[in-house]
Amino acid sequence: EAAEKGGYPHFVIKEINEQPEALRRALTGRSRDGQLHLPELERMEHAGLLNNIQRILVVACGTSYHAGMIAKYAIEKWARIPVETITAAEFRYCDPIVGPETLCIAVTQSGETADTLVGIRQAREHGAPVIAVTNIVSSAITRLADAVLYLQAGPEIGVVATKTFVSSVAVLYMLGLYLGQSRDRIQPEQMREFLTAMDQLPDQIQHILDHANSKGDIIEPLAKRMASVNSMMFIGRGVGYPTALEGALKLKEISYIHAEGFPAGELKHGSIALLDPETPLVGIATTSHVYEKVVSNIQEVRARDAHIIVVATEGDENIRQHADDIMYVPATLEIFSPLLASVPLQLFAYHVAVARGCNVDQPRNLAKSVTVE
Ligand code: AGP
């Protein structure tokens, strides 16, 4: 097992460090001459299954659901098709309105999650075309899908999803760009800008990891200081919102610290009552069109004496006056920011859990794939 961990103390930290490579594999060969290529979808295209799509449903659970939430922003932005992301266990009981004009995207790294399988089976019975996004070749979801987009992230042994999250989000971005391209919604120069920014992401994640491994980085010492708190809050807006949800899920899964993610603007409608000096808050404040709004939400929280940790874009000096601790990530396009902002949050959750003596690779009560409904 020590050999399998490749010199790392745990699979989780090994897999976090494998993310640049996993992402590179997900991206490789899928763009050429400023165009997005997804040959896996050709059969569906030829069968006319993608021509009349009026809406898209993304069906998933847990971390894959958060990836699906990010996909909603990307697909709506690029393809202008309405997208609903729904957690699979709810989907199957909500008598969903689906038919041949509703493209269903199943996101499941394991390909075996029972709730997702049942929901997708039901959608198929109503004639919905299905695209599966999964890491596992020949998994059950692949038999229910018209096309499969593989993550190619390599094996993920840690029960918590890390590299498969990053790869799922990347594959969903490419699907969004593909749909936008095939509907002529993206100008060639815009497409070039998106592809160039996407190609930089693996190196940018590597930069975050290298920094985290260097002396003087704040994530591990900060995690040690936070290891005894009882509760934490995570807030973000736009694509920062699912990023906040994922940051909170990672923390609770492996450290057993109660953590909640909220849309930043929603805090004042009730949950802000939970905040006190003992409840640290993590704000996702990377560069975006809602940056000022997030900062003003952080200020509201600061007035309650909560300890503020912020994920911000390198070069943002303004944020220093609003935060007690800052985790910086490189600049990218706003839509791609979750891929970078998630990485310090994974590292933070990992180091908190290690400091608390938790079993980070196999947290209590959790299984890698949930094969019961
Ligand atoms: C992720 O850290 C969790 N272990 C869990 O939420 C997981 O994402 C969920 O069970 C869905 O799994 P899947 O992607 O294999 O369908």
Q: What pLDDT does 304 receive? A: 84
Of ligand 1's atoms, which has the minimum distance to the CA of residue 249?
A: 2
Tens digits of residue pLDDT in 4-60: 888 999 999 999 999 999 999 999 999 988 999 999 999 999 999 998 999 999 999
Contact 286, 341 (CB under 8 A): yes
User: What is the spatial distance between Cα 24 and Cα 35, in angstroms, rounded to a whole number?
Assistant: 17
Element (H, E) at 348: helix 337-355
Q: What pLDDT does 366 receive? A: 87
Ligand 1: centre distance to CA 22 (Å): 17
Q: What pLDDT does 364 receive? A: 86
User: What is the spatial distance between Cα 342 and Cα 246, in angstroms, rounded to a whole number?
Assistant: 7
Ligand 1: centre distance to CA 216 (Å): 33
Sign of the C-alpha dihedral computed for residues 253, 254, 260 and 265 taken in this order:
negative
- Using a 10 angstrom Cβ sphere, with 0-12 exposed, 13-18 middle and 19 or more buried, the burial of residue 46 is exposed
Q: How crowded is residue 310: how many other Cβ atoms within 10 Å of its Cβ? A: 23
Dig out the tokens for 346 from the structure.
């994974």
Residue 85, ligand 1, Cβ within 6 A:
no
Which residue of 63, 105, 359 sits with most ligand 1 atoms within 8 Å of its CB, as the best mutation to test the pocket? 63
Tens digits of residue pLDDT in 214-225: 988 999 999 999
Closest CA to 180 of 73, 23, 27, 65: 73
Of ligand 1's atoms, which has the minimum distance to the CA of residue 113?
A: 16
Instruction: Report helix, strand or coil for 116.
Output: helix
Ligand 1: centre distance to CA 208 (Å): 24
Dig out the tokens for 38 from the structure.
């997804």
Q: What pLDDT does 303 receive? A: 82
Residue 64, ligand 1, Cβ within 6 A:
yes
Closest CA to 221 of 361, 353, 352: 352
Q: What pLDDT does 369 receive? A: 79
325-329 β-sheet, strand order: 258-263, 231-236, 281-285, 308-313, 325-329
Dig out the tokens for 143 from the structure.
């038999």
Contact 256, 360 (CB under 8 A): no
Q: How crowded is residue 362: how many other Cβ atoms within 10 Å of its Cβ? A: 17
Residue 255, ligand 1, Cβ within 6 A:
no
Is the pTM higher than 0.95? The answer reads: yes
Mark the ranges of the chain whose per-residue pLDDT is less than 50.
none
Dig out the tokens for 73 from the structure.
């922003």
Which residue of 64, 118, 169 sits with most ligand 1 atoms within 8 Å of its CB, as the best mutation to test the pocket? 64
Q: What pLDDT does 238 receive? A: 98
Ligand 1: centre distance to CA 60 (Å): 9
Q: What pLDDT does 145 receive? A: 98
Phi and psi at 115, nearest 5°, equal -60, -40
